[in-house]
């Protein structure tokens, strides 16, 4: 019972940990997807805003290296940089695909330090590091270029990492009123996402740990209750099969064991012997010394039986002053020797010497045609034949 309940507790804890682990993994990816979805919305909003900080006809004029003035380029850098700072993005830019099949940056944001040091990206700077997603926007004939103020169809660059951080990018194909094509690109540093996910994971794990720690006292209390119940159950079980006076097995337990041993004999040929013992003239002891002292005699005799038998033997009080011994894996000779041993032990007992107590014993082993009932009757007959012959002796069933 205790083992089953322990297994149930372990199974419940394991199930809980499994569910919490699955939830942690699911929550990690759910949070990641949610954060990326928010970032994509920010990227889209930023990309949509870029054309509105440039002149309306800018990309109809941005056709070669000389078509845009330095003054206009400076203004574009200033406007895009301001927008970039307001939106919290990393880099805003626009790209065209030249007739020579090369990609050129036509406008871009810049860091304050780049502007100060004059290292900003200028108009018509070659862009050899264009992503495959950006290139596909120009090279795939089915790319859906949308004119400004329409619903754009963006493409997102897979998340990538380099020595500067982890980035997510958007590419927005746009067509001018005159049909010229360009792409708006926005990069956003999402290094913080991993940090947020790590913090969320740690918080989740800490929550799980606190949860597990909080249920430990409950588990301990529950286990102690089970332990007490198991102990009480064992005590009740033991009482149900134990003779309250002698501490030996009672009649109920002996009946069950007899059924088991007799069935094993019939099905598997496992031999056993049965000894039925009766204290001679025990009534005289009760009459002379009283029932209380008579009970003490029964207790002392029970101790002799325990000390004279093996751990594998089934010893019990059959009723009154009658006792029974189931002697497994034994034949008639070894069981007769045990009976002789008991006669001697009783006579040599210092505690029982004054009573001059003797026993009569019937002993036997089952035969092929026996039933349990007939076998018990034969043992009983052997016992009473021992009494009829003068008591203080053992009679075998074979002698009937």
In a domain, 326, yes or no: yes
pLDDT one-digit tens code per residue, 261-278: 999 999 999 999 999 999
Does 74 share its domain with 154?
A: yes
The pLDDT assigned to 213 comes to: 82
pLDDT band at 334; cut points 50, 70, 90: very high
Examine the pLDDT at 255 and tell me if it is beyond 90: yes
CA distance 123 to 127: 11
Angle of helix 291-308 relative to helix 282-289, nearest 10 degrees, comes to 140
Examine the pLDDT at 181 and tell me if it is beyond 80: yes
Task: With beta carbons less than 8 A apart as the criterion, state whether 168 and 159 touch.
Answer: yes
Examine the pLDDT at 6 and tell me if it is beyond 90: no
The pLDDT assigned to 237 comes to: 63
Task: With beta carbons less than 8 A apart as the criterion, state whether 31 and 197 touch.
Answer: yes
Examine the pLDDT at 209 and tell me if it is beyond 90: no
Stretch 219-243: mean pLDDT: 74
* Token representation of residue 256: 């069950």
Per the structure, how many domains does the chain have?
2
* Eight-state DSSP code of residue 74: H
In a domain, 217, yes or no: no
In a domain, 212, yes or no: no
CATH of the domain at 184: 3.30.450.20
Residues paired with 274 in a beta bridge? 326, 364
CA distance 331 to 328: 9
Does 171 share its domain with 265?
A: no
In a domain, 30, yes or no: no
Backbone dihedral region for residue 329 (phi beyond 0: left; psi -120 to 50: alpha; all else: beta): left
For 257, the domain range is 251-399
Examine the pLDDT at 310 and tell me if it is beyond 60: yes
Does 104 share its domain with 181?
A: yes
CATH of the domain at 379: 3.30.70.270
Does 301 share its domain with 183?
A: no
pLDDT averaged over every residue in the chain: 90
For residue 205, give the nearest of 28, 33, 29, 36 by alpha carbon: 28
Does 150 share its domain with 271?
A: no
Stretch 351-360: mean pLDDT: 93
Half-sphere exposure of 371 (CA within 13 A, CB side): 2
Q: Find the farthest-apart pair of alpha carbons in the chain and give their distance in angstroms, rounded.
A: 140
Q: What predicted TM-score, i.e. pTM, was given to this entire model? A: 0.54
CA distance 367 to 265: 9
In a domain, 227, yes or no: no
Give the Å distances, CA to CA, from 212 to 27, 268, 287: 19, 52, 67
In a domain, 73, yes or no: yes
Of the candidates 161, 189, 217, which is a domain's last residue?
Answer: 189
SS3 of 173, please? strand
In a domain, 239, yes or no: no
């Amino acid at each position: 019972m205790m083992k089953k309940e322990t297994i149930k507790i372990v199974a419940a804890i394991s199930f809980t940990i499994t569910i919490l682990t699955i939830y942690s993994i699911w929550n990690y990816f759910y949070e990641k997807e949610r954060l990326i979805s928010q970032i994509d919305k920010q990227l889209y909003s930023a990309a949509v805003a870029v054309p509105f900080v440039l002149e309306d006809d800018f990309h109809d004029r941005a056709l070669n290296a000389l078509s845009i003035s330095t003054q206009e380029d400076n203004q574009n850098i200033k406007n895009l940089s301001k927008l970039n700072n307001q939106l919290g993005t990393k880099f805003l830019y626009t790209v065209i695909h030249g007739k020579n099949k090369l990609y050129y940056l036509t406008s871009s944001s810049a860091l304050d330090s780049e502007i100060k040091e004059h290292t900003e990206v200028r108009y018509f700077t070659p862009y050899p590091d264009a992503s495959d997603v950006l290139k596909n926007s120009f090279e795939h004939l089915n790319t859906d270029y949308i004119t400004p103020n329409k619903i754009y169809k963006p493409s997102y660059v897979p998340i990538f990492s380099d020595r500067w951080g982890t980035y997510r990018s958007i590419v927005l194909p746009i067509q001018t009123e005159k049909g010229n094509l360009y792409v708006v690109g926005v990069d956003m540093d999402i290094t913080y996402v991993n940090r947020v996910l790590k913090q969320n994971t740690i918080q989740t794990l800490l929550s799980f740990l606190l949860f597990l720690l909080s249920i430990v006292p409950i588990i301990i209390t529950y286990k102690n209750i089970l332990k007490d119940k198991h102990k009480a159950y064992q005590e009740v079980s033991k009482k149900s099969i134990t003779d309250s006076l002698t501490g030996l097995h009672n009649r109920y337990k002996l009946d069950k064991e007899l059924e088991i041993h007799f069935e094993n004999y019939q099905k598997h040929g496992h031999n056993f012997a049965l000894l039925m013992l009766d204290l001679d003239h025990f009534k005289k002891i009760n009459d002379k010394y009283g029932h209380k002292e008579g009970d003490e005699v029964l207790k002392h005799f029970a101790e002799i039986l325990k000390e004279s038998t093996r751990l594998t033997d089934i010893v019990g009080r059959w009723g009154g002053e009658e006792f029974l011994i189931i002697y497994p894996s034994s034949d008639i000779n070894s069981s007769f020797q045990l009976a002789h041993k008991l006669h001697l032990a009783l006579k040599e007992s210092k505690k029982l010497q004054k009573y001059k107590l003797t026993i009569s014993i019937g002993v036997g082993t089952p035969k092929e045609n026996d039933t349990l009932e007939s076998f018990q009757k034969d043992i009983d007959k052997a016992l009473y034949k021992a009494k009829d012959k003068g008591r203080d002796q053992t009679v075998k069933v074979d002698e009937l």
